[in-house]
Structure 1
């Protein structure tokens, strides 16, 4: 049964969904059995959204993101991007993973950003170099264009990965716990820089995390997934917090309420009015 408290925001309802995930179930095989990772998950992502998949480890959120990327075919349901069914990877969906060792160490920072543009024949070399430098400037790494990955810090490698993804100008940027391997201070800095970059470029983002605090900082819309197998627990359109809100009473109160939504197993969720929540849809 679904309960809807307050309507969807006018800005969302006035737009057509860019990404439509319809009752997607995902499975994988082990030597012993077939494991269901997600069960009939549905959601829409609109242009310019910072949409977060939030849930505990093992709820299938990363598997779901890989399915949106085209790496895993749903056992049931359908994924459509801009009206077209997703059946394989494509340059309209670029993934930034948790680890940044996928930057070829023999290529400079600029060459790493140029590489997918050239490999996909999206641009010729001169145009690819111009675009790479443009996005390196956006992430504050123009001065390191000729540096090699081994000379960079973890946060700088993360910025290279983001620049490389945005240089492809995908319809949607997919980020799978991209800052989880960073120390706490660098992670907070990268969250801040990601939001600043979004303010400037206004890309569409699908972001995976198991951190309630990160979801509240990064996302303007949050999908809560239950523990394994992942089912939609609730969908929230929330006023985003900034990093200065982390220690505040409102932030902690909201984080606690999301924790209850995620882990309350009695099926009788009580949702009080909260100015931080524009819309909450609960699925039981």
Structure 2
């Protein structure tokens, strides 16, 4: 269970949110600039809140007045909006970055599941948007994280590729059974992917509810 209760002063408002995520897909839904990415960055340790606590199970990532847990110890997979692939590395080298030894069998299965075996020797500039997204997703999961954070990972894709990648996210979540926390401002995407939707405006959760319909 991921439990977040934090406050962080931003230029236009104070981010002040409290929520919990179990082994489910939770979507942070709301307009641009509402604080969604700051929440993900705080969980990942890239940003430190001003107050509050972030906990995953018994592990405390952040607590006011104490030293935050280092990023590399949090066991978090993070899929950035621009995928953040290293341009000088092949797809396979990007995937293996940060992995430890003894994970080859799981990696091979993950590559087969996502269907990117034919692009492993290509460089990012040789990949389509959907291929980049899949490579970045495999890289995020290859380290066997306890939680996956996704910051609008499908926003740059065309409609058909976006639907395919949404289906892959649902399938991978069913396989991994860890919390997925996804940021989007696309209502259809939120309703398709989410077990629970957290509506955020001006740094505050206005509503927490199940989507009207789940496409699964």
Matches within 5 A, 1:93-104: 93-100=76-83, 102-104=84-86
SS at match of 2:48: coil
Q: Which runs of 5+ in 2 are unaligned?
A: 62-67
Structure exhibiting the larger radius of gyration computed from Cα positions: 1
Task: Give the structure, 1 or 2, with the largest relative contact order (CA under 8 Å, sep 6 or more).
Answer: 2
Whether the 8 Å contact between 1:110 and 1:133 is mirrored in structure 2 is no
Q: TM-score under structure 2 normalisation?
A: 0.88
1:80, 1:174 → 2: CA distance? Answer: 15
Deviations 1:197-242 (A, max 9, x none): 222332320101111111101110111112x2x1111111346522
- State the match for 1:174 in structure 2: 149
Deviation at 1:175, TM superposition (A): 0.2
Deviation at 1:43, TM superposition (A): 0.4
> Structure 1 194/240 Cα, relative in aligned 2: closer, same or farther at 3 Å?
farther
1:178, 1:99 → 2: CA distance? Answer: 7
Deviation at 1:144, TM superposition (A): 2.3
- State the match for 1:85 in structure 2: 60
Question: Please, which of 39, 54, 60 is the counterpart of residue 35 of structure 2?
Answer: 60
1:209, 1:37 → 2: CA distance? Answer: 20
Whether the 8 Å contact between 1:219 and 1:240 is mirrored in structure 2 is no
2:14, 2:165 → 1: CA distance? Answer: 29
* Residue 43, structure 1, aligned to residue 16, structure 2: no
1:70, 1:178 → 2: CA distance? Answer: 19
Between Structure 1 and Structure 2, how many residues are aligned?
208
1:37, 1:96 → 2: CA distance? Answer: 25
Matches within 5 A, 1:127-276: 127-226=102-201, 228=202, 230-238=203-211, 240-242=213-215
Whether the 8 Å contact between 1:132 and 1:164 is mirrored in structure 2 is no
CA RMSD of aligned residues (A): 1.9
Whether the 8 Å contact between 1:20 and 1:79 is mirrored in structure 2 is yes
Whether the 8 Å contact between 1:19 and 1:79 is mirrored in structure 2 is yes
Q: TM-score under structure 1 normalisation?
A: 0.68
